[in-house]
Homo-oligomer: A and B are copies of this chain.
């Protein structure tokens, strides 16, 4: 029976390193991020190398704030959207930490957090770093057109976040513990028959609804047990469709409780169209803003549901629809969880 993973010992997020680009510096949530590159190159020679450097910066910041050296970290779990996870793999080269590459597209952040919690709770690791990243120009180049081409996009399109969010995960007894990882539900690949790569939110809606519904069924939790249910990067259209699907399935989430990082991160800037996307979207918002709110006790418990589209330029050329995935992780401000 596919079920929710329960982390009995409640592994804790000990520190976060959050980097962004110049556009992210203008986010209403920028005060929750800790480094911004001056431009999309961050003193590197390519966008992919810039992305690698942002990951390195986030890892270094997370290590520093977590008061550990890399030799004290047992594993580094990361992923991104670039072919063969180039930025993540090359960033991992800079650190003496065992590396596990992950790919759930923009749902990679929560795949990493769920696996990290299992590795700590199961007793295989003491401290683990996990994160996800993306770079607007690197992704545009790979999946769409060079930005210089100036191609127009439909209003359903989303804006890929530039940045990297990395957290150090350890034991609940650690004095640096900021929030606790309580349980996780791993998603199944779902396909709602959307083939338009400029409408990823709609494509991802079914996978998001599926994992949220399964999380409530398998964990026994209800919507009332959470302050917020926060999806990764569904943006305006996808978020609204997800709410409709859940409602049809008898899972009713009040609007004020149902948030989306892709709708939030840039505020109301019209140039981002339907909203933000990219593995960094949920990584920056969950490990930046939401972690700070949990740490401060302003939120008691959230369900973080990162959402990813598993398409590739190749699958688009081969006229496939877009399979999608989402993973849900319950994070609490109190070690015992919220009763």
Contact = CB atoms under 8 A, between A and B. Distances in A.
A45 to B, nearest CB: 8
B188 A96 contact: yes
Interface string A245-277: 000000000000000000000000000000000
Contacts of A1: 71-72, 74, 126
B122 A92 contact: no
Contacts of A121: 122
A63 interface: no
Number of copies: 2
A330 to B, nearest CB: 14
Contact of A85 (B45, B49, B75, B310): B310
Interface stretch (A103-111, A227-235, A280-288): A103-111
Contact of A48 (B75, B125, B318): B318
Interface stretch (A24-32, A76-84, A291-299): A76-84
Contact of A189 (B92, B189, B323): B92
Nearest to A99: B189
A104 B98 CA distance: 12
B99 A102 contact: no
A86 to B, nearest CB: 5
Contacts of A167: none
A240 to B, nearest CB: 24
Contacts of A126: 1
B187 A89 contact: no
Contacts of A115: 100, 115
A101 interface: yes
Interface of A: 1-3, 5-6, 45-46, 48-49, 71-75, 79, 81-86, 89-90, 92-93, 95-105, 111, 115, 118-119, 121-126, 185-191, 310-315, 318, 320, 323, 325
Among all A-B residue pairs, the 4 with the closest Cβ atoms:
A122-B122, A89-B310, A98-B186, A84-B312
